[in-house]
């Protein structure tokens, strides 16, 4: 009679039992069974990996697929903080004065640093700068600068701290003129003809600033804003949804486009020019 283990075979038709040395050991049977099981598991796993590799190969340059199988801009793949920011904030249109002012200030603080550094300190910045409410920051003075220079939770750079306070005072004047900071900012949204026909990695590498970001930068500086060069202004426009620079193939691109289609442009106060 044959054992259920396929490696067990009678060596003779004789009824004489085989010697112990001729019999395969239980360990050998178990090993054979284990090898076959491992092989069966490895085969679909290898096929899955090959499939993922083929899918990844079809993604446009600059787009990667995450462990959740969602395609995203590659820059956000390095950290969970980045991915959440990419999926929920970056490129979605913003019409709230506080959020716009906060981002403009934080872009200034980022100068010479990575955005991830600032992103991870953002809650500290909010506490330190009174939630970035424009009027409250505009009332901050020398004592606040001294306090902030001792705050290890933020970037302790005197020039950038003083620039944030100066920017708040400039922003109050903008609000008085245009009715809101948002109404002023959204005047610089580029038209469709000013945008690349296709938003690809190659196109964005050439697009670190634009005619609109240069115009925004020039206007801001004329009004007393600091740390607002054309490149900083373009990064601000990207983040606040004035441009949608999610790459083609990124799953968030369409979501940002849909949000922009529903977004009501902030209106200026009647008579303001």
**Does 85 participate in catalysis according to the annotation?**
yes
For residue 24, give every residue at least 6 positions away whose Cβ sits within 8 Å of its Cβ, in sequence order, or none: 5, 7, 8
Residue 181, class by beta-carbon neighbours within 10 Å (0-12 exposed, 13-18 middle, 19+ buried)? buried
Q: Retrieve residue 50's tokens.
A: 């090959």
203 in Cβ contact with 243 (< 8 Å)? no
Distance of CA 133 to the CA centre of its chain: 24
Known catalytic membership, residue 107: yes
User: Beta-strand (E) ranges in the chain?
Assistant: 63-65, 71-73
137: exposed, middle or buried (Cβ count in 10 Å: 0-12, 13-18, 19+): buried
Which of 75, 85, 162, 248 is catalytic? The answer is: 85
Torsion of CA 116, 121, 123, 125, to 10 degrees: -120
Q: Which among 107, 186, 212, 234 is annotated as catalytic?
A: 107
8, 75, 89, 115: the catalytic one is 115
Q: Which residue, 206, 138, 146, 205, is CA-closest to 174? A: 138
- Indicate which residues carry an active-site annotation: 85, 107, 115
């Amino acid at each position: 009679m044959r054992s259920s283990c396929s490696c067990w075979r009678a060596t003779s038709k004789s009824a004489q039992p085989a010697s112990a040395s001729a019999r395969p050991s239980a360990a050998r049977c178990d090993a054979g069974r284990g090898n076959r099981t491992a092989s069966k598991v490895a085969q679909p796993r290898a096929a899955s990996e090959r499939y993922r590799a083929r899918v990844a190969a079809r993604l446009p340059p600059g787009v990667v697929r995450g462990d959740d199988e969602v395609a995203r801009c590659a820059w956000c793949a390095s950290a969970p903080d980045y991915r959440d920011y990419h999926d929920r904030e970056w490129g979605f249109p913003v019409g709230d004065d506080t959020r716009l002012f906060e981002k403009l200030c934080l872009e200034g603080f980022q100068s010479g640093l990575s955005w991830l550094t600032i992103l991870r300190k953002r809650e500290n910045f909010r506490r330190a700068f009174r939630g970035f409410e424009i009027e409250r920051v505009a009332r901050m003075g020398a004592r606040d600068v001294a306090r902030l220079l001792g705050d290890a939770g933020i970037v302790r750079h005197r020039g950038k701290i003083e620039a944030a306070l100066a920017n708040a005072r400039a922003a109050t004047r903008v609000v008085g003129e245009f009715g809101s900071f948002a109404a002023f900012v959204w005047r610089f949204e580029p038209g469709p003809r000013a945008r690349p026909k296709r938003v690809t990695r190659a196109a964005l590498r050439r697009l670190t600033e634009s005619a609109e970001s240069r115009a925004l930068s020039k206007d801001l500086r004329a009004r007393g804003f600091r740390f607002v060069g054309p490149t900083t202004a373009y990064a601000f426009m990207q983040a606040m949804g004035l441009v949608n620079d999610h790459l083609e193939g990124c799953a968030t691109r369409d979501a940002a486009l849909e949000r922009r289609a529903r977004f009501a442009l902030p209106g200026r106060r009647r008579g303001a020019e």
